[in-house]
Every structure is written in C-alpha cells, then in structure tokens.
Chains A and B, each alone.
Chain A
Amino acid sequence: MRPVDNINDLLKKLKLKASTVLDIRVHNDISKALAESDKTESAVTQPNIRRTIMKNSITKIAAAAVIIVLVVLGLFEFIGTENTSGVVWADVVSKVESSRGLIVRCTDLSPSSEDDYSITYTSPRYCRRDFYKDGQIIRTGYTDFTSSDTDTLIDVFHIHKLCSTTTYKKSEYGLFLEWKDDWTNPGFLVQKILSCKHSKLGQKTIEGVLCEGIETTDPAYLGPLPGEVNNLQVEFRLWVSAETGYPVQYESKMSGEHEGEVWESESVTDQFQWDVELDPGIFEPNIPPDYERITWPGIVEP
C-alpha cells in the first residue's frame, strides 16, 4: 500500500455527526435562554454595523474582493493580446464588447466559501449575483455601476432576512484608481492587461470545446489594493473558444497577508452565456418587506 504522505488530507476525512441527544440538549438550553431573555429583555445596544464588520481591515479587502470578481469578469470581457495560432484576441475584444449581457457560473473553491456556486448576470451598468447552497438561493447581490463616483452593492441575505448596502468610492477604494476613466472602457482595460506580464498556455479542450488560454501571475494586474498586502500571489487564466472567440472558462487564484491575517481566494468561472438580452427588471433589488435593512457606510465616509 502507498505510504501515508499527507497527514492533513487524512485528518480532514475525520467526520462525526452530532447525535440527536446533543441536538436536543443544546436546543433546549437555547430555548431556555430565549425564554429567560424574553422575561428580562432590556434595550440592547446595537453595535454600529460598520464598526463591527468594516473595522477589520481584512474584511475591507474581502469586501473589495467582491468587486474584484465583478470587475475581473468585466475586465476579461475586454481582454486583448497578440494573435496566437487560432484565437484572434483582437476579435475577442470586439465580440465581448458587443455582447449585450452575460450570464456565468462561478464556483468559489476557497476554504471559507459558504456557497456551492453563484450565477452572475452582468450588463455594462449593472450586475446581479445569486449565491446557491443546496439548490437554494441563500444570498443575492445587486451592484450598480451607473454612478460616476461610487459603486453600490446591495446584499440580500435570504436565510437571515437581512439586507445590507455598501457604497464603494471608486476614486479612493476602487482596485483601479483609474476607474474614474470608466471601467467599461475596453481600451483602458486592454491596456491594463497588456501592461502586465502574461504568457500563452496553448490549447486545451474544456467541456468538449477546443480552447486557447493565456495566463498572468503579475500582481500589478490587480492595480492598487486597499491597504498593504504582503506575499501577494495571483494566478489568472483565461480560456477562449478557438472556434467562437468567446471566453469559456476563467480561473482565479489569489492569496496574501494583510495585518497578520492570511487572505485566500480561488474560483472557477464557467458556463458563459454571451450576448444575452437580459431583462432590466432582474437588476432591480427585490427585498421582501419583512427583511431588516442594515446600512453601513462602508468605504465612503459620511
């Protein structure tokens, strides 16, 4: 038999289920505590949501990561580089530029991921992202890029019946300081990717589609990050159909350390549907009336 090399993998196989007896004991204790608190309920000081959540700088980066995913997606819509054997990258730029709407699936492979996958609907000015877990939508994020100064992200947490609004000031917190130049400007975005070191990956068949890929591991690709990030490592790979010239798969891996905490992110984006006419109504935030609205200023100081 093969010697045991990876103790970590083996330990992760350990899996026990809490017994029904334990479930009953704990839930009874929680019920008792709830009943007790109902009797003696006093005004509970509600912590400032921004203080609680946004004070932590790593959270700011994590929040920015939401934008990274959205923007990188947008960025690769307009990626351009020199010609290779099959794919004419300049044509890729023009094809995706003329795409009215885009639907993609994103699978977050990070250890801390809380969803199975997400489906993103993107138009040049809006984005909606539904996060799925066990076949149910657990969260919906609506992003509005229409303002010239800020991007607004509305997150609707269906399990918790909560809704949060975060506003990102493009000029101060955007990953690209040049966002003032409009992130939908393909010329700017093509320049951005071309300014980074990138390499060709050759051909590969993905889901029966012959693709050609390019890769960059240049952290400069991300542009300025919010705060100091050490040991930043990035890997971005884009695979484009040799036949249609449309992107087929995008792989992203990033890690870094910020204020002593390790930040990791890994995802695969696939199932691209290009040039889809999206109903504008899907970008209207749908917030049921019984959901509590929590607002934190986020990056934009009042």
Chain B
Amino acid sequence: MLEDKLLIWKFNRGDREALRSIYEKYKNDLVTLSAALLIDVSSAEDVVHDVFVSFIESSRKFRLTGSLKGYLATCVANNARNRNKAGRRRQNRQADVAMPDASRPDSAAIFGEELRRLSFALGQLPYEQREVLLLHSYSGMKFKAIAKQQNVSINTVQGRYRYATDKLRSMLNGEVDK
C-alpha cells in the first residue's frame, strides 16, 4: 500500500516514469482479470493497453487518492464490459463474425489445461455475475466499490456474487462427479 501511495504521489506530481512502475507492477493481474472477463487473451491485452493509454493521457489532470489496484481493476472491468457489449451487438448484426465466444470449450484453455474447467465454467456465467465474482474474489474489491462501479445497489452486487459462486460451484462439482 505504501508503495502504491508513493507511485501515486510521483504520478500525481507529473512523474510519468512512475507509469512504467505502475504498469510493471499490475500488468499480469490486469491481463488475467481482463482475460477471465472476456475469456480471450488477445482482447484482454487490448483492454489493458487501452486502459494504460487513457491513464497516460490523463496523467496531467488526473488526481488519484484511493486504491490504485482497485482503480485499475475498475478501468479494466469498464473497458471489458464495453468491449463485450460491442461484441455482442456485432454478433447480432453479423452472425458469422469471428468473435471470441466465452461459452466455447476451446476458448477455455487460455489459463492452461489445469484451469480449463474453471475458465469454461466462468464463461458460462452471465457477464454481470462473472464481473462481480472476479472483481471481488480475484481483484479484492469490496462489494460497495463494485456497486458504485456498476451503478447498482450493493444488494444486487451481493446477489450476483451469490448466484455466481453457487453456479460455479455447482458446475465444477458436476464436472468433478462425471
């Protein structure tokens, strides 16, 4: 936390070199979060790139005082959600467009064979539930912060989290039992 506060301090006072440290510190976590949201590595890296481009562009006027990790996770989630929506719209217009499909079993190997079942099961969850689950369990965000980010009530967020974990547990245990 102290390290982040120093990075933010350097960043806020115009030290753009701090951006490199921030990127290096969080790049793997953000790519993982994004890939788990989109079930697609290529799009995930585009999301992280877009987030950092915006971050760089805002560096002059931007003032951050809260959690850096939470802020970046929120940016990734927002960008991934927009990309997911745009992808679905495109798929509706053009049925044969090659978009990543989270429900396809071959998409689920992005985290390696060991976690294939988990990533496949994640892909089966409704996007909103997957987002809550990952932001809370993977990125460590509080329900309150996720509710603010998603512009919904905290009860809705907690409900999505509960549904997501129940569904995921059921799917994974089902797979195990087979």
Chain A residues near B (Cβ < 8 Å): 1-5, 7-8, 10-19, 21-23, 25-27, 29-30, 33-34, 37, 44-47, 49, 52-53, 55-56, 59, 62, 111-112, 114, 157, 159-160, 162, 260, 262, 294
Contacts and interface: CB of A to CB of B under 8 A. Distances in A.
Nearest to A44: B14
B2 A114 contact: yes
Which of A1, A4, A45, A46 lies at the interface centre, i.e. has the most chain B CB atoms within 10 A of its CB? A4
Given A3-B176, A10-B118, A53-B5, A18 B45 contact: yes
A135 B47 CA distance: 33
Nearest to B14: A44
Contacts of A5: 169
A226 to B, nearest CB: 17
B8 A160 contact: no
B142 interface: yes
Interface of B: 1-3, 5-10, 12-14, 16-17, 19-21, 23, 27-28, 30-32, 35-36, 41, 44-45, 48-49, 52-53, 56-57, 59-60, 63, 65, 110-111, 114-115, 118-119, 133-134, 137-138, 140, 142, 144, 165, 168-169, 172-173, 176-177
Contacts of B28: 15-18
A277 to B, nearest CB: 31
A146 B140 CA distance: 40
A252 B16 CA distance: 38
Pick the 8 closest A-B CB pairs, nearest first: A44-B14, A18-B27, A4-B172, A114-B3, A16-B32, A22-B45, A3-B173, A33-B56
A22 B49 contact: yes
Given A44-B13, A47-B12, A114-B1, 10 more contacts: A3-B173, A10-B118, A13-B118, A22-B45, A26-B49, A30-B23, A34-B16, A52-B5, A52-B65, A160-B10
Contacts, number: 132
Given A15-B28, A47-B13, A262 B115 contact: no
Given A22-B45, A33-B59, A59-B5, A16 B35 contact: yes
Contact of B1 (A23, A30, A45, A62): A62
Contacts of B21: 159
A160 B49 CA distance: 24
A26 B51 CA distance: 10
A14 B49 contact: no
B9 A53 contact: yes
Nearest to A47: B12
Nearest to B27: A18
Contact of A12 (B7, B41, B138, B176): B138
Contacts of A4: 168-169, 172-173, 176
Nearest to A27: B20
Contacts of B41: 16
Contacts of A1: 176
B27 A14 contact: no
Which of A17, A18, A33, A162 lies at the interface centre, i.e. has the most chain B CB atoms within 10 A of its CB? A18
B111 A30 contact: no
Given A1-B176, A4-B173, A29-B56, A37 B14 contact: yes
B20 A16 contact: no
Contacts of A162: 6, 10
Contacts of A27: 20, 23
Contacts of B36: 11, 14
Contact of B53 (A3, A29, A47): A29
